[in-house]
Amino acid sequence: MKNRPLLMAVSLLVVLAMLVGCAAPATPAPAATSEQPPASEPAAPTTAKPYIPLISKGFQHQFWQAVKQGAEEAAAQYNVDITFEGPATEAEVDKQIEMLQAALAKNPQAICFAALDSQAAIPLLEEAKSKNIPVVGFDSGVDSDIPVATASTDNIAAAALAADKMAELIGGSGQVAVLVHDQTSRTGIDRRDGFVNRIAEAYPDITIVNVDYGGGDHLRSTEIAKAVIQANPDLKGYFGANEGSIIGVLNAVNELGKGGQIVLVGYDAGKQQKDAVRSGVIAGSITQNPVGIGFKCVEAAYKALNGETVEPVIDTGFYWYDASNMDEEKFIPLLYD
């Protein structure tokens, strides 16, 4: 066949045309654009205020509410955030330690701490030191050099003044008893020792028949005081070393019908205590400056976290008040309700 080569060429052309027709069309190149994906934005600078938690010895007494007020005033002045908490009673050392541990876990810039047990908290305070978190003590100090400062009353001197007043009121002789909130906090130890040592040094004719501890709890302190009064019918005076203690003594005296027969000397203030002083059932009391304690501890913490030097001991003062002077203007901010 003369046309065979021609037929084969045509067939080959047909196959090639079919292959070309079945090929997928090429994907067009993306159009050029001037837009670029946005670059990741830098993290916004933090605007949070420095955080300073205050772990108190308690929350129920009006004294601590006054401390809280002072702390809030300092927080506003120095533009810091604070929290203020404490256990339900001043006997709950374990609860206070839990609060301190929780506060540390929040990585605060500083901590203010009023120790119920001046030894139990030291491991956590050492942790704070290792994290460069300044610790400021308030009201009660800590038996450690970790706190950069402590804002508190000179409790030894204040309790010695209470002893002088007691001696004057009972005529320099007779039996007295002492009821303290605890024997583990710095305030409990110092107020006990300040009173007891002053009596021993200066008033040999006064005998201290009992030194007891009521945990600052009104009910427990009442029962202790009743037992002491009943066991010592010649008791002439009773010193209560904090608000809860002296209110317990006051309740015991009232329940036993001994009002006016036993000289009562207290510590701190609060409405019930003030009313009893004004009426003469409590002869007088030592008042601290709780608003000043709260203010000064936050102020010291703020200065410490900013690298400023703070005084290691910040004495916030104390005063004797009784029915004759308690309405003077200088006592208005000190006799808290």
The secondary structure of residue 136, as a DSSP letter, is E
pLDDT tens, 29-86? 333 333 333 333 333 334 489 999 999 998 878 889 999 999 999 999 999 999 999 9
Q: What is the mean pLDDT of the chain?
A: 87
DSSP letters of 114-126?
--SSTTTTHHHHH
Q: Which one of 18-22, 144-148, 319-323 scores highest in mean pLDDT?
A: 319-323
Lowest mean pLDDT among 55-69, 200-214, 229-243: 55-69
Q: Is the pLDDT of residue 104 over 60?
A: yes
pLDDT tens, 159-182? 999 999 999 999 999 999 999 999
Helix (H, G, I), strand (E, B) or coil at 74: helix
User: What are residue 140's phi and psi, to 5 degrees?
Assistant: -105, 130
pLDDT band at 142 (very low <50, low <70, confident <90, very high): confident
Q: CATH 3.40.50.2300 occupies which residues in the chain? A: 51-153+290-317, 155-287
Kind and range of the H or E element at 208?
strand 206-213
The secondary structure of residue 142, as a DSSP letter, is -
User: What are residue 28's phi and psi, to 5 degrees?
Assistant: -65, 145
Q: Is the pLDDT of residue 228 over 50?
A: yes
Lowest mean pLDDT among 45-49, 287-291, 305-309: 45-49
The pLDDT of residue 33 is 36
The pLDDT of residue 76 is 98
Helix (H, G, I), strand (E, B) or coil at 325: coil
What is the homologous superfamily of the domain 51-153+290-317 according to CATH?
A: Response regulator (3.40.50.2300)
Helix (H, G, I), strand (E, B) or coil at 18: helix
The pLDDT of residue 36 is 37
Give CA 36 to chain center in angstroms: 54
Q: Is the pLDDT of residue 91 over 90?
A: no
CATH fold label, 155-287: Rossmann fold (3.40.50)
Contacts of residue 242, Cβ cutoff 8 Å, sequence gap at least 6: 61, 63, 180, 181, 187, 191, 216, 267, 268
pLDDT band at 337 (very low <50, low <70, confident <90, very high): confident
Ramachandran quadrant class, 107 (left: phi over 0; alpha: psi -120 to 50; beta: rest): left
CB 237 within 8 A of CB 176: yes
Taking residues 246-264, what's their average pLDDT?
A: 97
Global pTM value: 0.77
The pLDDT of residue 59 is 83
Q: Is the pLDDT of residue 12 over 70?
A: no
Taking residues 314-319, what's their average pLDDT?
A: 95
Q: Is the pLDDT of residue 23 over 90?
A: no
Q: Is the pLDDT of residue 121 over 50?
A: yes
CB 318 within 8 A of CB 289: yes
pLDDT band at 336 (very low <50, low <70, confident <90, very high): confident
pLDDT above 70 as % of the chain: 86
